[in-house]
Structure 1
Amino acid sequence: MDIREYQLFISDFYKQRKWYQYGPFIRSNFLSEEVGEVSRAIRTLEIGRDRPDEKTSEYNEQLENLIEELGDVLDNIFVIADKYDISLERIMLAHKEKLLSRYEK
């Protein structure tokens, strides 16, 4: 599956679940929440949680959690882009051009 196919899949999936109805303003808050969950997953991997009320998990389980949370971040980005009819290819190309023009002088 390429990135465009996945963006279409996510948009359709969110529409079927009735999650697509939320506009970019609300969706950006969901994105912020998911970014926090990525930070927590990385903290768990890197330095642990040190919480006696939480069960310590194995490295592979922690890594799977990080993968899941990164996927949630990507999905929110894909939906926000879709709301504005922006392809991920366009975002990647524009960002690549920005980086090259900024740092390859």
Structure 2
Amino acid sequence: WEAALAATWSGSPVWFHGDVASGNLLVEDGRLNAVIDFGTSGVGDPSCDLAIAWTFFEGESREAFRARIAADDATWARGRGWALWKALITVAGHDANQAEAE
């Protein structure tokens, strides 16, 4: 988390998807065919789109993903921070749901 916070971004704003997740990727014949659900897209720091590196990939597949994208170390660190944030809000939401069920 500290590394993500320390990795500031000063690039030009770019379009980002905002929710690159396995459910938003359409694959046909083993190849990415489409990306759907642009409800959280915007303009700014693209590192949020790298969270999938930790929420979907692991090991060699994560390294292959990183090798194919143009992300410097700071962007990669911020992407890891987004993945942590996403995991924490998921856990927090799960705990709240559990408390309501009791």
TM-score, scaled relative to structure 2: 0.35
Would you tell me which structure has more strand in proportion to its own residues? 2
Would you tell me which structure has more helix in proportion to its own residues? 1
For CA contacts below 8 A with separation 6 or more, give which structure has more relative contact order: 1
Instruction: State the structure with more CA Rg.
Output: 1
